[in-house]
Amino acid sequence: MSATPLLELRGIDKSFGPVQVLRDVAFSAFPGQVTALVGDNGAGKSTLVKCISGIYPTDAGEFLFGGRPVSIHNPRDAAELGIEVVYQDLALCDNLDIVQNMFLGREKRHGLVLDEPTMEQMAADTLAGLSVRTVTSLRQQVSSLSGGQRQTVAIAKAVLWNSKVVILDEPTAALGVAQTAQVLELVRRLADNGLAVVLISHNMNDVFAVSDRIAALYLGQMVAEVKTTDITHAQIVELITAGRSGALGLGSGNGSNDTGGEPAAAPGAAR
């Protein structure tokens, strides 16, 4: 595991008019790791992700990618860095098949003609690279897929383009038990393939099942970035609902006790 974050945010502020939604937010995502981004409704998770993906401009703060300062002014900047977001609505077209969806807007062509064999091969290779066995026919219409299969296609679409950071917004929210397990396995494989994965989730079972690190937002402030093994379910719930965890010595303005790939500092030690 690397100790250098692939993506690092420092001092991010974001307001909508008079309402400050993000306040001096620090956040890191490491290659080969799943970082869970947790927080109550309205804590600022979606806003933070929209800042990372270039949809919202930030008011203050800096982005580093691979340790180097970068600018993210629009979604194209984020895509060029290899940052992809899989939103909850998945943005798939029901009337198109899997290959068509994976290449939508970025089709491969021979002159004016679509290069179907190449696209089909790339789609197959991507799914094979993720050890996906739940999707059998690449030419199946997306309307006929289960919720888990749809999520799989959306994730495969996101990793098709040499992405380095994949942000997943509640990927299991609409799924049953078996499909949730399959999607979580896929999330884990993304990280095992070297990607920096960010998982937004309200489901603590999912968070503890699959994440290496947990970043907790409370009312627009990052109240903890910790290794998953260094925190309990109850402590995370405390951070999400109260913005602090007495037992950990973490809380508003207290920052993080996370050291990324290095062994974690003693509980309570601020970085």
Looking at the Cβ atoms of 7 and 52, the one nearer to ligand ATP is 52
Cα dihedral 233/235/239/245 (nearest 10): 180
- Rg over CA atoms, the chain: 19
The nearer residue to ligand ATP, 119 or 216, going by C-beta atoms, is 216
CB of 196 to ligand ATP, least distance (A): 20
- Least CB distance to ligand ATP at residue 230 (A): 23
Q: What are the C-alpha distances in Å from 266 to residues 3, 16, 227, 256? A: 17, 37, 11, 11
Q: How far is the CB of 254 from ligand ATP (least distance, A)?
A: 20
List Cβ neighbours of 262 (8 Å cut-off, separation of 6 or more).
Answer: 3
Q: How far is the CB of 37 from ligand ATP (least distance, A)?
A: 9
Q: Give the integer Cα–Cα distance in Å for 149 and 176.
A: 12
Instruction: For residues 197 and 188, give the distance between their C-alpha atoms in angstroms, rounded to a whole number.
Output: 9
Where does this chain bind ligand ATP (CB under 6 A)? Answer: 16, 19, 21, 39, 41-47
> Taking Cα atoms as reference points, which of 129, 134, 127, 99 lies closest to residue 115?
99
User: What is the residue type of 217?
Assistant: L
Which residue, 63 or 103, is less far from ligand ATP as judged by CB? 63
* Shortest Cβ 125–ligand ATP spacing (Å): 34
Nearer to ligand ATP, 87 or 208 (CB): 87
The angle formed by the CA atoms of residues 164, 232 and 227, to the nearest 5 degrees, is 30
Q: Which is nearer to ligand ATP, 49 or 156 (CB)?
A: 49
Question: Smallest distance, Å, CB 76 to ligand ATP?
Answer: 21
Instruction: Give the closest residue to 222 by CA, choosing from 248, 253, 194, 199.
Output: 253
Residue closer to ligand ATP, measured from CB, 19 or 113 = 19
